[in-house]
Amino acid sequence: MTAYDPKGVIPACLLPMHADLSIDEASYRSHLRDLAAVDGVDAITTNAHASEVHALTLDEQKRVLDITKDELGDSTAVVAGVQSDGSHLAADIARMAEDRGADCLLMFPPNSLGMNAMMRPEMAIAHFETVAAATSLPMVLFMYPKATLGYPLETLLEICERVPNVKAIKDWSNDAKQHERHIRELRALSRPVKMLTTHSAWLLPSLVLGCDGILSGAGSVIAALQVALFRAVEAKDLDEARRVYDRIYPTTRAFYDEPFVDMHNRMKEALVYLGRIPEAHVRPPLMKLSDEEIAKIARCMDEAGLERETVYAKVA
């Protein structure tokens, strides 16, 4: 099988849950089918932020990945999140993901690399080398703002040069100037590395800078619009790109207004409103949204012109 090349539109799927906060397998399978059915979706990411991986046990992460592969088969590539504060534990997760059929890894920065760890770049490099030694899978490096858990540019470039598994960056530097420099510097490497944007709150400007794809939780709701925008930018059809982006814009208000922590919580409520999942439950410390905010999400979905389905539709 040809090694997966991370590019194009890659939604990060949500993880529906029952009221008792157990995994709603039937709704999750339906959600996966919905995303895979969108023409132009190149892969689906699971066990990532949008799936609330921070609140999943390792056994639950295994089960989620098993369900994902069982539902998608070989028809759609699977990107599996790797989130752990210990490099050896991250290596174990990576090995598990490969054993269960994942095609690629999304590498979250360990929280242990906070507290000015950027002053010790060898730590970040060693983390990626440790995980790469445990798996043959391609990796997408998740780039956070440098002020939090991001890697300084020099460290980022050295990781890409020294760890051949790193094939792409999921960039959330959240700084347009830095984002553009990342794109230019990554393409100038001896082994060019792709750029996947996750700047969903300013997606059109990000794509125009020359990104190779989109990897975003917003794709769990608006995958078709993301595909349309990506194709319009690739075709250099600015008028069409602006038309699609005008539809996307209300969803950015629904998902990414402050507090930012509620973004995936809001996406679940959007799927409930659109009739794609039956209920929106999140694991603590995330909490249910207010009725006022849920109503705002509904208005934004209507403004974006998203079609409501009848499978799980509720009487208003």
pLDDT single digits (tens) 268-283:
999 999 999 999 999 9
Please check the confidence at residue 260 and state whether its pLDDT lies above 80: yes
Residue 211 lies in a domain: yes
Q: Which of 85, 139, 93, 141 is nearest to 115 (CA)?
A: 85
Please check the confidence at residue 125 and state whether its pLDDT lies above 90: yes
- Per the CB < 8 A criterion, the answer to whether 69 and 78 are in contact is yes
Residue 263 lies in a domain: no
Q: What is the pLDDT of residue 315?
A: 44
* Domains held by the chain: number: 1
Residue 104 lies in a domain: yes
Residue 254 lies in a domain: no
314 — pLDDT class (breaks 50, 70, 90): low
Find the angle CA(41)-CA(250)-CA(292) to the nearest 5 degrees. 120
Q: How does pLDDT run across 187-201, given as a tens digit for each residue? A: 999 999 999 999 999
Residue 14: give the domain boundaries: 8-246
Residue 250: what are its φ and ψ, rounded to 5°? -60, -30
- Per the CB < 8 A criterion, the answer to whether 231 and 9 are in contact is no
240/231 Cα distance (integer angstroms): 9
Q: What is the pLDDT of residue 117?
A: 83
Residue 282 lies in a domain: no
- H or E stretch at 291: helix 291-303
311 — pLDDT class (breaks 50, 70, 90): low
Instruction: Tell me the average pLDDT of the chain.
Output: 95
Q: What is the pLDDT of residue 152?
A: 93
Residue 312 lies in a domain: no
Residues 6 or more apart whose Cβ sits within 8 Å of residue 3: 138
Q: What is the pLDDT of residue 316?
A: 43
Q: How does pLDDT run across 155-184, given as a tens digit for each residue? A: 999 999 999 999 999 999 999 999 999 999
pTM for this one? Answer: 0.96
Residue 72 lies in a domain: yes
The residue assigned the tokens 């997760």 is 93
